[in-house]
């Protein structure tokens, strides 16, 4: 009987999502909230249980097989928690929007697919739900407005391409392992195994939004509805991407600390941290700045898991959870500011601290968390990652700590520009948002504090059971963190504050505190390229395809000209010439016949 | 019973010319000739089905030459019957004067006797004689209208036929010198045994080929074709294009070069070259023609090229394809000439620049002409597609891929010139309104529908036709 709850986890949100398309616009928000609440209650009820369910499906080893265990239950619980908060928040945020029904429908269907993907114990079932999320992703971006279709297409192409890689990886994995049942797959990293791992990892990290699969996220920050940003790039995609990355590194493949692929993952993580945070630093839009951090923070998770050390893996997964908390919270404060002032452009914001005190406090806590300030949760997960990175090589640690410095700097800039300083006339009417929007923000901020101060709660309940045997003999809770690294972190953060204060004083204003980095000799060129999208693989690819298609069009016109003009005129020319030869004199015709006869005789007697 | 195919029209000819007035009444004449031809069609259709075979021929002793009926002759008799019947039908609605009718029917009976005997005979000299008999009757038929063009067309045909006669007679003389007999069997043995003078045989073959190519009207021996076809009266052009040149030229070519002579490599290459040149040259030439009948004439040359090309491939399959294309071409080219007759009767001209938008006024003509031209261009599932397909497959399997590809490409040209014809004549703007709102006659409409129906039926029932009538041909090819 209890096995059927697994089916209910998939079916209930799906049916609720389809139903909400039929409901009147006023009721569908409440309905979606109820459905998300049911989903959450179900997720809580089955958390920490082990269930298996299999029934035949497509044949050829593709059974519809679901498996609930520690890890999947945890991810599902987190997803359901955020789904509930976002639907509560959207109740107020999307009050007057026309696309409400579609938003809630896509949200619930996405939750259903996330549950399906997480529960799947068959690679094909996993792929089915994984690809299904592509549809809701497209739908959620495209409802945002006129400009959003372009962004939605971009997201679809990028994520779709990497999903293709994953599909190839799944096929290869299934071929190598001889089974599609995930829990039975334990492969080494031989030449083909390594390829399969890379292909699967591309699918996982691109879902999480790592560089270079990230470029649609900042565009979506501008175009898509804000709750989408809080839901998808900030939480659900991180949960899924890191979940899959952890599964393939922990269970399906035997990735060891000595493996070159581990180094590749760590390098990818370090690059993602640095590039995205540098881009975040110079943004002048609330949401866009956050979206770059959503990319940057993935770097810590990939770096952590890539170390293949217990501390790193625990740190990576813990960071995923923490990131979902504070990034979701940050996006929600951004939404509150947008709702209240009508803009998210930092140049038009200022002095909101007094007008929106609750929002400001929530922002302060979540921003401190993301910057890794003790005793908030981000500090502890980052410390675990630092510890593991330091063991694998100081260069990775350096990248990570540098990333922390810039993260802190950019949030100091954001907070300074939006909440401190002079109040602008554009937002003099701003006031605190409704309670429906405040509850999710307060909840998230509170969780950030709880998971920080009482970090043994999530670590012992959620993280350690996932690691299983690997975690034995290790203690990841607060007291065991490497004290030296902790002190360095605090010093770096202090440095960031001092830097910000000085820069703001010299440049005149919080928003300009990072300008000197923007205009630094080499960096300014890179930034200019980035702003012109030269560094966006998608845009470059699109340009390249356009050039190719133009070229092909020219060739096509050429061929067409041969058909359209050259061939007919040549044929007509030949035809007229032949016609002129037929003069009508029979003597000529006899002459032709005789010449023809002569030629034939010569040919026969040759 | 092969002699019946000769004696029946002969008796009818005698009866028609008996000095009794009532017999000259056209009401009695048309059905008599038409009925005779229908009977011929019926008999020849059922020949391969083993009906009437094995009955001793009581009239055989009257002939100095041997008549033999085999699968190839029966198909030829069928074609002669169909096309001559259609020609008589068309004529019955075009010719009304009593004397003209009398002349026309006499001449057509003579030409049918000539053609029937040609396809049944098994002696090369007698064959020549009956080819000439056919030609003489047709010369007069072409010139019946007595206009300047009719005389010019006849004259060109006459002169070039004379040249052909010279070639063929000389060739027969050489065969007689080399073999000592003119019967097919003797010549065939001479080719097989190598005992006779190889040089004389070679010379004879070459000269006979040249003569036949003039009769076929392929490039470069085709000068007379466009003039003769376009100068002849409508009903005669159906007969001329449909069977006369086909039987007296192409059939003899198929019979001699397919079943009697042995094709050496040089002859094969000659036939292939002549065929492919005819296909391309004539297809290009027809592209800019402005007269409906001239365009059809060039198209005829091009289509005969396919038959010659298939013969040149010298395999049983190619021979089957050639005969099938012969049949199809006779049917759809007759159909198109009947269409031309219909236009001529309605508008008094076949100049395409003066015709336009007739599609809505002449629905049957426009629909059937579309079937005819699509079949010519080889569009599935019409009959022309299958015969071209067999020919092209045969060329490939005979190791002549270049010819196959060129032949395939030339089909596109065929489609091009026929589409331009269709656009000008049946679609587009109405250029000239009909001189008189004459109703289309029953004879023409019936022939159009009949021939179109045969084209469609032969295309759809292609497998049945291939198995019943065509594949037995493989036995007579050596």
Give the C-alpha separation, A29 to A20, whole Å. 8
Q: Quick one: which of B247, B175, B183, B242 has its CA closest to B212?
A: B247
**Smallest Cα distance from A575 to chain B, Å:** 5
pTM of the model: 0.59
Q: Nearest by CB to B266, which of A584, A595, A604?
A: A604
Tokens found for residue A151: 């962004």
A473 within some domain: no
- Which residue in this structure is represented by tokens 């960031």? A496
Number of domains in chain A: 1
**Cβ density class B125-161: b for 16+ within 10 Å, e for less:** bbbbebbbbbbbbbbbbbbbeeeeebebbbbbbbbbb
- Which residue in this structure is represented by tokens 């060039």? B298
- A510: confidence class by pLDDT, cuts 50, 70, 90: low
Element (H, E) at A55: strand A51-59
> For residue A595, what are the domain limits?
556-604
A97 within some domain: no
**Average confidence score pLDDT of chain A:** 83
Q: Is the pLDDT of residue B169 over 90?
A: yes
**What letter would DSSP give residue B182?**
-
Q: Nearest by CB to A576, which of B205, B226, B288?
A: B288
Residues 6+ apart with CB under 8 A from B193: none
Q: Nearest by CB to A603, which of B223, B270, B288?
A: B270
Flag the least confident range among A13-27, A178-192, A330-344, B28-42: B28-42
Q: Quick one: which of A312, A323, A316, A337 has its CA closest to A242?
A: A316
Tokens found for residue B247: 């039987």
**Cβ density class B78-104: b for 16+ within 10 Å, e for less:** bbbbbbbbbbbbbbbbbbeeeebbbeb
A347 within some domain: no
- A570: confidence class by pLDDT, cuts 50, 70, 90: confident
- CB < 8 Å to B224, chain A: 586, 589
CB distance A428 to A354 below 8 Å: no
Give the C-alpha separation, A268 to A381, whole Å. 19
Give the C-alpha separation, A234 to A246, whole Å. 18
Judged by a CB distance cut-off of 8 A, whether residue A591 touches chain B is no
A195 within some domain: no
Tokens found for residue A368: 């401190």
A599 within some domain: yes
Contact A600 B206 (CB under 8 A): yes
Contact B163 A586 (CB under 8 A): no
Give the C-alpha separation, A165 to A272, whole Å. 20
ipTM above 0.85, yes or no: no
A586 within some domain: yes
Tell which B residues from 414 to 473 touch A, by Cβ distance under 8 Å.
416
Give the C-alpha separation, A532 to A141, whole Å. 22
**Smallest Cα distance from A571 to chain B, Å:** 7
Residue A538: per-residue pLDDT: 78
Contact A571 B163 (CB under 8 A): no
- B278: confidence class by pLDDT, cuts 50, 70, 90: very high
| C-alpha separations of B46 from A358, A445, B41, B43, B323 in Å | 103, 99, 9, 5, 18
Per-residue pLDDT reduced to its tens digit, B218-256? 988 888 888 888 888 888 999 999 899 999 999 999 999
Mean pLDDT of A413-421: 84
Give the C-alpha separation, A106 to A86, whole Å. 13
> CA angle A244-A250-A251, nearest 5°?
85
Q: Is the pLDDT of residue A93 over 90?
A: no
A210 within some domain: no
**Smallest Cα distance from A567 to chain B, Å:** 11
Judged by a CB distance cut-off of 8 A, whether residue B270 touches chain A is yes
Q: What percent of chain A has pLDDT over 90?
A: 1
Q: Is the pLDDT of residue B53 over 60?
A: no
A510 within some domain: no
Give the C-alpha separation, A463 to A318, whole Å. 7
CB distance B16 to B7 below 8 Å: no
- A454: confidence class by pLDDT, cuts 50, 70, 90: confident
Q: Is the pLDDT of residue A522 over 80?
A: no
How far, in whole angstroms, is CA B9 from its chain's centroid? 19
CB distance B211 to B82 below 8 Å: no
**Smallest Cα distance from A596 to chain B, Å:** 6
Q: What is the dihedral of CA A37, A39, A41, A43, to 10 degrees?
A: -150
**Smallest Cα distance from A584 to chain B, Å:** 8
Tokens found for residue B320: 């089957």
Per-residue pLDDT reduced to its tens digit, A358-402? 888 999 999 988 888 878 888 888 888 888 888 888 888 888 888
Residues 6+ apart with CB under 8 A from B139: B154, B157, B158, B161
Judged by a CB distance cut-off of 8 A, whether residue A55 touches chain B is no
Rg for chain B, CA atoms, rounded: 21
Per-residue pLDDT reduced to its tens digit, A114-170? 999 988 888 888 888 888 888 888 888 888 777 788 888 888 888 888 888 888 888
Q: What percent of chain A has pLDDT over 70?
A: 96
């Amino acid at each position: 009987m209890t096995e059927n709850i697994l089916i209910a986890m998939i079916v209930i949100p799906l049916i609720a999502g389809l139903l909400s398309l039929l409901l009147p616009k006023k009721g569908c928000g409440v309905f979606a909230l109820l459905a998300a609440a049911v989903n959450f209650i179900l997720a809580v009820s089955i958390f920490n249980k082990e269930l298996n369910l299999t029934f035949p499906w497509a044949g050829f080893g593709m059974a519809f097989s679901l498996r609930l265990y520690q890890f999947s239950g945890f991810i599902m619980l987190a997803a359901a928690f955020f789904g509930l908060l976002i639907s509560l928040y959207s109740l107020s945020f999307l009050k007057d929007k026309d696309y409400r029904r579609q938003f809630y429908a896509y949200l619930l269907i996405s939750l259903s697919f996330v549950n399906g993907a997480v529960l799947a114990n068959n690679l094909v079932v996993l792929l089915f739900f994984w690809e299904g999320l592509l549809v809701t992703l497209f739908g959620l971006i495209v409802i945002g407005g006129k400009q959003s279709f372009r962004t939605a297409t971009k997201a679809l192409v990028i994520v779709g391409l990497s999903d293709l890689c994953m599909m190839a990886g799944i096929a290869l994995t299934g071929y190598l392992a001889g089974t599609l049942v995930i829990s039975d797959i334990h492969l080494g990293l031989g030449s083909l195994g390594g390829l399969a791992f890379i292909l699967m990892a591309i699918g996982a990290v691109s879902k999480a939004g790592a560089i270079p699969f990230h470029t649609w996220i900042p565009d979506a920050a501008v175009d898509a509805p804000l709750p989408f940003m809080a839901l998808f790039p900030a939480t659900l995609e991180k949960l899924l991407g890191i979940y899959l990355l952890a599964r393939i590194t922990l269970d399906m493949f035997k990735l060891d600390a000595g493996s070159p692929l581990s180094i590749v993952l760590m390098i990818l993580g370090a690059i993602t941290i640095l590039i995205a945070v540098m881009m975040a630093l110079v943004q002048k839009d609330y949401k866009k700045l956050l979206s770059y951090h959503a990319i940057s923070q993935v770097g810590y998770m990939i770096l952590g898991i890539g170390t293949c050390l217990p501390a790193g893996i625990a740190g990576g997964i813990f960071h995923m959870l923490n990131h979902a908390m504070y990034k979701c919270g940050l996006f929600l404060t951004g939404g509150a500011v947008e709702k209240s002032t009508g803009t998210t452009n930092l140049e038009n914001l200022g002095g909101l601290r007094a007008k929106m005190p609750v929002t400001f406090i929530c922002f302060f806590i979540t921003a401190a968390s993301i910057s890794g300030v003790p005793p908030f949760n981000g500090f502890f997960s980052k410390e675990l990652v630092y510890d593991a990175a330091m063991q694998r090589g100081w260069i990775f640690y350096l990248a990570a700590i540098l990333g922390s410095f810039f993260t802190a700097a950019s949030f100091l800039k954001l907070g300074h520009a939006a909440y401190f300083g002079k109040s602008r006339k554009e937002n003099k009417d701003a006031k605190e948002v409704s309670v429906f929007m405040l509850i999710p923000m307060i909840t998230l901020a509170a969780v950030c504090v709880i998971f920080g101060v009482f970090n043994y709660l999530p670590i012992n309940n959620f993280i350690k059971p996932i690691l299983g045997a690997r975690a034995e003999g290790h203690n990841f809770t607060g007291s065991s963190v490497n004290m030296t690294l902790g002190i360095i972190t605090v010093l770096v953060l202090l440095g960031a504050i001092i830097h910000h204060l000085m820069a703001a004083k010299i440049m005149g204003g919080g928003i300009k505190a990072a300008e000197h980095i923007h205009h630094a000799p080499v960096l300014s060129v890179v930034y200019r390229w980035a702003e012109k999208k030269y560094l966006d693989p998608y845009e470059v690819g699109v340009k390249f395809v356009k050039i190719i298609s133009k070229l092909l069009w020219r060739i096509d016109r050429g061929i067409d000209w041969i058909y359209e003009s050259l061939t007919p005129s040549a044929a007509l020319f030949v035809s007229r010439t032949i016609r002129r030869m037929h003069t009508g004199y029979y003597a000529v015709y006899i002459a032709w016949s005789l010449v023809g006869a002569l030629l034939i005789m010569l040919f026969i007697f040759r | 019973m092969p002699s019946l195919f000769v004696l029946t029209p002969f008796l009818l000819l005698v009866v028609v010319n008996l000095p009794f007035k009532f017999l000259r009444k056209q009401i009695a004449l048309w059905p008599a000739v038409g009925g005779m031809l229908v009977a011929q069609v019926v008999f020849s259709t059922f020949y391969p089905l083993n009906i009437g075979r094995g009955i001793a021929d009581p009239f055989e002793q009257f002939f100095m030459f041997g008549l033999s009926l085999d699968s190839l002759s029966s198909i030829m008799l069928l074609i002669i019957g169909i096309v001559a019947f259609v020609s008589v039908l068309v004529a019955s609605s075009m010719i009304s004067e009593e004397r003209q009718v009398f002349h026309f029917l006499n001449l057509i009976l003579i030409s049918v006797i000539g053609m029937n005997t040609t396809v049944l005979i098994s002696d090369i000299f007698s064959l020549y004689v009956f080819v000439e008999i056919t030609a003489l009757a047709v010369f007069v038929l072409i010139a019946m209208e007595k206009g300047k063009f009719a005389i010019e067309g006849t004259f060109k045909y006459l002169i070039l036929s004379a040249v052909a006669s010279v070639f063929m007679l000389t060739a027969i003389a050489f065969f007689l010198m080399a073999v000592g007999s003119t019967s097919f069997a003797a010549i065939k043995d001479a080719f097989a045994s190598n005992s006779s003078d190889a040089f004389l045989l070679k010379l004879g073959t070459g000269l006979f080929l040249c003569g036949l190519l003039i009769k076929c009207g392929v490039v470069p021996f085709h000068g007379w074709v466009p003039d003769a076809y376009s100068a002849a009266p409508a009903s005669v052009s159906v007969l001329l294009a449909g069977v006369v040149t086909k039987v007296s030229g192409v059939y003899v070519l198929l019979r001699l070069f397919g079943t009697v002579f042995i094709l050496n490599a040089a002859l094969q290459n000659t036939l292939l070259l002549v065929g492919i040149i005819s296909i391309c040259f004539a297809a290009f030439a027809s592209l800019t023609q402005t007269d409906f009948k001239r365009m059809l004439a060039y198209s005829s040359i091009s289509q005969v090229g396919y038959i010659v090309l298939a013969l040149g491939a010298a395999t049983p399959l190619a021979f089957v394809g050639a005969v099938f294309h012969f049949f199809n071409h006779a049917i759809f080219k007759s159909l198109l000439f009947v269409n031309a007759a219909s236009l001529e009767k309605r508008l008094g001209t076949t100049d395409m620049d003066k015709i336009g938008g007739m599609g809505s006024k002449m629905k049957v003509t426009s629909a059937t002409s579309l079937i005819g031209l699509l079949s010519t261009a080889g569009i599935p599932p019409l009959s022309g597609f299958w015969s071209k397909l067999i020919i092209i497959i045969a060329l490939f399997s005979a190791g002549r891929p270049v010819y196959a590809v060129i032949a395939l490409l030339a089909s596109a040209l065929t489609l091009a010139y026929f589409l331009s014809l269709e656009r000008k004549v049946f679609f587009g703007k109405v250029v000239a309104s009909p001189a008189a709102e004459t109703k289309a006659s029953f004879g023409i409409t019936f022939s159009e529908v009949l021939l179109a129906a045969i084209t469609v039926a032969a295309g759809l029932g292609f497998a049945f036709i291939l198995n019943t009538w065509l594949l037995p041909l493989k036995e007579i090819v050596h």
